[in-house]
A and B are shown apart, each in its own frame.
Chain A
Amino acid sequence: MDSTLQRAAELLSQARLPVFGGLFTDVKGAAAALSLARKLGGVVDHAASEGTSRAARVMRETGATPASFGEVRNRADTIVVIGNMPRTRDPKLLDKLFPARATLPRPGDNKRELIVVGAKKGKVPSGVRVTEIGGKNALPELVALLAAAVREGPFDIRDSALAKRILSAGERLRNSAFAVFVYDPAELDEPVLHTVLEAVRHLVKTTRAATLSLSAPGNGEGVNLCSTWTCGLPVRTSFAGDVPENSIWAYEAGRLLRSNEADALVWIDALDGEEATPPTRSFRGVPAVVLSSRPVKAGRDDVVIEVGAAAADHDAAVYLPQIAGIGMVKATAANSKRPTVAEVLSRIEALIDAKGAA
């Protein structure tokens, strides 16, 4: 192990711009990666940051209106599910959002209702009225039409049956006591995210409304939060300059590797039950230090370190949608001998420090 870590330290101290990618790890792993990236003047990115980065940029530009999962489940009377991804990502989503059991007291006396936009309504919990806003139109257009209907603004489409459904959905949303738009930011482009946000902002002038954004895979939210409290910025941040700098385009791990701007990769994939997709096949083309909890195909010169899977081999603080925040998940097989990502990265950092001091 020691010689492997030594090789990793060697590889990384020679790098000009190392990228920390994957980052499928717990909060401690993320904190250790951020610490090492800062020391080396590297870049941090997460393998599922496409959606979270877009959502982060929209938030920086104009704000946000999130609601917690618990609030939506207990109190929403109208839930708008946008696109396919929310239910693809979580097939039981609707059962969770429309629980059969009693809820906390909720505002208004509307029956609970579901509006599905740009997707088939699929299987819906019994007793929930559902409206499908779909057809041939593209998802962004459907969202824009619904937003127009919410505002009682004019719109013109040929499909008169669809137009009627959209108008009626707009009315229902205006008459809701708590309307919530559910989506996965990975499925929506920024203009669509803005459109949804503006619809919510229109509704809250007279009633209660919010958004529920599906959390990214691989503890994407947890890693993003950790990055933000550590350095003031979310992932896709570079520590190469005097001050940390964030850019969704410039500091995307895949782009940095493909363009050869990055000359080393630290790839971290160590969460139970989830697997990060590497930006390049078998990490080819750039020297890599790979921390993985599963067998990996790596290049001959890559340094591969087997680590424990967070939440299986060791307790792990990760983002949990049910509490809309970071929570602690107990290990399922705590007897593992494999080190954690945080332990490995800290030891590599110590070796680099020692080299610097020598």
Chain B
Amino acid sequence: MLVKLEGGRIIDPAHNRDAVGDLYLEDGRIVEKPDGREPDEVHDVSGKIVMAGAIDVHSHIAGSNVTLGRQLMPELPLLAAAEGQPVLPSPAAWGSYATGLRYAQMGYTTVIEPAMIPTHAIQAQTELASIPIIDVAGLVVLGNDDYTLNLLRKGDAKSDELKDYVAWTLAHSKAIGLKVINAGGSEAFKFNARTFDLDEQVPEYGVTSRGIVEAMQKVVADLGVPHPPHVHINNLGIAGNVDTAVATLKATQGRPIHMAHIQFYGYGKEGDKGFSSGAPRLMEAINKHKNATVDVGQVLFGQTITISGDILRQFDGRRAANPKKWIINQGEGNGTGLVPYKYKKKSFVNALQWAIGLEIFLLADDLWRVLFSTDHPNGALFTRYPEIFHLLMDKNERSRWFDALPEATRQVSTLGSISRELTLSELAIITRAAPAKLLGLIDRGHLAPGAIADVAVYTNRRDKTKMFSAADLVFKSGKLVVRKGDVVDVTWGRCYHVDPGFDSQIKRRVKAFYDTYYGADPSWFGVTEAVSDRPDRFATIRCAS
């Protein structure tokens, strides 16, 4: 069926396009205007904004960590709704089904789950397969696991073994890329370390955080995986940690890296309270290091829960739990920490975190490298993205929020002096074009013929919160799934992954490792098509090598 979206303002920064025009969809793809054929369906979108479906590069929506969060805090949607956050007041709002519907309503069509645990990949993929409408992909976590650390310790190990191990893990979990969370820090926690820095050594293994990240960067590049290592660096959330972020950028020596939720590393330690915005210094470094991309991890005020494989930091953070309950789950590799948290407008620190995130976006020279995220649910629930878009696009809205912050925060923040407002094209970069490019999902994030027909149509309003909360129309793979903010068709998306080759020797080695130390067989946690009943669930994206 040929569908025509007629007369909308088409915003497609991947092709420098911001102009009124028509868009044609057929067989799930965007197509050229066909000669001499009438469309089967025409949608008059004149006066509306037409963008590619949005892509979320970092959102914890599935897997054993997220579901442990649901178990700890089933009341989260109820608490959030009671505060006026846009969440259905039902525990089911935390569930997979509601997740897909909510994302679609906002015009999102692809979401990346950023922390699959290798041994729990079946749960992560089964959960992802139960989320309707959106396409998904997962990043698999390595870097604190004993197999990797053992290879890095040995030094004499043939360098290809780590490469094979990473390739095997990516394939075994059907992941799109590699995640590294506080490299070495979670393992150090097992030996009772309570802090861990870039150049500290992992007990018993001797390797440093710097060494682990460096090795993973090399391996991922060698494998030709499009998405560079997605790194949650050391010292998250600590005053003065902008030093760590800058040092980590320097350590990359020009090799590709994605640094996650960088807002949580934008902290200086100036001032009476020993906590200040490090955003200008951070952004100077990010602007300079063109090999690096980041997502922001913006904070908004309200109730949420923090879910992280950075167990060392979460352990420290447990003291700030609100409500007062927490889980420290000591598992293979990273483990997980779950700490409910409420960002308070009246808190000096929380208010400054909010301002720092916005500063990061607004001080970016190159928005293709500064991607949108709240690190859902860590900075804010994903249902609140439209409020952040509003803040980025409207300096009056920003002032309105800023003026309500504590005096002490306003005095030290430079946010008030920034007048930049993101344009619709810039918003489309940080929520569509740049994530697609970063992930190697070249068939989306843009609106050229051949792209997947993931399209979101919005009514252009001054109130951007309202504008982006409910899309007028959303097409997923060419099917109309949302009309006037309501889901009209519940479709099922696909899961994208890489499948780099490896020497099959690694299978034998990994099997022996799991047998010896865990009494387990790796085949138990290998993801197959069987996690879904839909035959075309999985799609492979190409690696360069």
Does B544 belong to the interface (CB within 8 Å)?
no
Contact B119 A102 (CB under 8 A): no
Q: For the complex formed, measure the closest distance between the CB of B133 and the CB atoms of chain A, giving whole angstroms.
A: 16
Contact B92 A104 (CB under 8 A): no
Contact B330 A71 (CB under 8 A): yes
Contact B517 A104 (CB under 8 A): yes
Contact B122 A317 (CB under 8 A): yes
How many Å lie between the Cα of A232 and that of B325 in the bound state?
18
Contact B204 A105 (CB under 8 A): yes
A325 with B517, Cβ < 8 A, contacts A107-B190, A232-B93 known = no
CB within 8 Å of B: which A17-68 residues = 27, 31, 56, 59-68
How many Å lie between the Cα of A244 and that of B531 in the bound state?
25
Contact A328 B525 (CB under 8 A): yes
Does B328 belong to the interface (CB within 8 Å)?
yes
Does B254 belong to the interface (CB within 8 Å)?
no
Q: Among the listed stretches B31-39, B123-131, B359-367, which one makes contact with chain A, having 4 or more residues with CB under 8 Å of it? A: B123-131
- B341 contacts which chain A residues (CB < 8 A)? none
Contact of B530 among A225, A233, A244, A328 (CB under 8 A): A328
Contact B71 A63 (CB under 8 A): no
Q: For the complex formed, measure the closest distance between the CB of A324 and the CB atoms of chain B, giving whole angstroms.
A: 6
With both beta carbons as reference points, the residue of chain B lying nearest to A237 in the complex is identified as B91
Does B120 belong to the interface (CB within 8 Å)?
yes
Contact A229 B67 (CB under 8 A): yes
Give chain A's interface secondary structure class.
mixed
Q: Which of A102, A320, A326 has the most CB of B within 10 A?
A: A326
- A66 contacts which chain B residues (CB < 8 A)? 327, 329-330
Q: For the complex formed, measure the closest distance between the CB of B338 and the CB atoms of chain A, giving whole angstroms.
A: 8
How many Å lie between the Cα of A103 and that of B150 in the bound state?
13
Does A131 belong to the interface (CB within 8 Å)?
no
CB within 8 Å of A: which B359-386 residues = none
With both beta carbons as reference points, the residue of chain A lying nearest to B98 in the complex is identified as A232
Does A322 belong to the interface (CB within 8 Å)?
yes
With both beta carbons as reference points, the residue of chain B lying nearest to A55 in the complex is identified as B71
A324 with B190, Cβ < 8 A, contacts A56-B71, A96-B519 known = no
Contact B70 A228 (CB under 8 A): yes
Contact B192 A107 (CB under 8 A): yes
Contact A244 B90 (CB under 8 A): yes
- B524 contacts which chain A residues (CB < 8 A)? 320, 322-323, 327-329
Q: Among the listed stretches A202-210, A287-295, A349-357, which one makes contact with chain B, having 4 or more residues with CB under 8 Å of it? A: A202-210
- A68 contacts which chain B residues (CB < 8 A)? 329-332, 335
Contact A246 B95 (CB under 8 A): no
Does A230 belong to the interface (CB within 8 Å)?
yes
Does A266 belong to the interface (CB within 8 Å)?
no
Contact A105 B205 (CB under 8 A): yes
Does B505 belong to the interface (CB within 8 Å)?
no
Contact B519 A232 (CB under 8 A): no
How many Å lie between the Cα of A327 and that of B120 in the bound state?
7
Does A138 belong to the interface (CB within 8 Å)?
no
Contact of B523 among A102, A229, A244, A330 (CB under 8 A): A330
Q: Which of A62, A71, A104, A233 has the most CB of B within 10 A?
A: A104
How many Å lie between the Cα of A13 and that of B528 in the bound state?
35
Contact of B332 among A61, A70, A204, A229 (CB under 8 A): A70
Does B348 belong to the interface (CB within 8 Å)?
no
- B315 contacts which chain A residues (CB < 8 A)? 204
- A60 contacts which chain B residues (CB < 8 A)? 71-75, 325
Q: 1/0 per residue B311-342: CB within 8 Å of A?
A: 00001000001001111111110010010000
A229 with B120, Cβ < 8 A, contacts A71-B190, A320-B520, A329-B524 known = no
Does B64 belong to the interface (CB within 8 Å)?
yes
How many Å lie between the Cα of A277 and that of B205 in the bound state?
49
Does B191 belong to the interface (CB within 8 Å)?
yes
Contact B330 A67 (CB under 8 A): yes
With both beta carbons as reference points, the residue of chain B lying nearest to A69 in the complex is identified as B518
Does B211 belong to the interface (CB within 8 Å)?
no
Contact A228 B326 (CB under 8 A): no
- A330 contacts which chain B residues (CB < 8 A)? 523
Does B184 belong to the interface (CB within 8 Å)?
no
Contact of A103 among B73, B123, B517 (CB under 8 A): B517
Q: For the complex formed, measure the closest distance between the CB of A202 and the CB atoms of chain B, giving whole angstroms.
A: 13
CB within 8 Å of B: which A90-128 residues = 96, 99, 101-105, 107
Q: For the complex formed, measure the closest distance between the CB of A65 and the CB atoms of chain B, giving whole angstroms.
A: 5
Does B394 belong to the interface (CB within 8 Å)?
no
A208 with B190, Cβ < 8 A, contacts A229-B96, A325-B120 known = yes
Contact B123 A326 (CB under 8 A): yes
- A233 contacts which chain B residues (CB < 8 A)? 74, 91-92
Does B77 belong to the interface (CB within 8 Å)?
yes
Does B516 belong to the interface (CB within 8 Å)?
yes
Q: Which of A70, A71, A322 has the most CB of B within 10 A?
A: A70
A230 with B72, Cβ < 8 A, contacts A66-B329, A70-B520, A328-B524 known = no
Q: Which residues of B contact A (CB under 8 A)?
A: 62, 64, 66-67, 70-75, 77, 89-97, 117, 119-120, 122-123, 126-127, 130, 146, 189-192, 203-205, 315, 321, 324-332, 335, 338, 516-520, 523-526, 528, 530-531
Cross-chain pairs A/B with CB under 8 angstroms, 21 sampled = A60-B71, A63-B326, A71-B332, A74-B517, A101-B516, A178-B190, A230-B96, A230-B97, A232-B70, A232-B74, A232-B77, A232-B91, A233-B91, A242-B90, A243-B89, A243-B90, A322-B520, A325-B122, A326-B123, A328-B525, A330-B523
Task: Please give 7 more A-B residue pairs, beta carbons under 8 A apart, in addition to A210-B328, A327-B119.
Answer: A69-B518, A71-B330, A103-B517, A229-B67, A234-B71, A317-B126, A324-B120
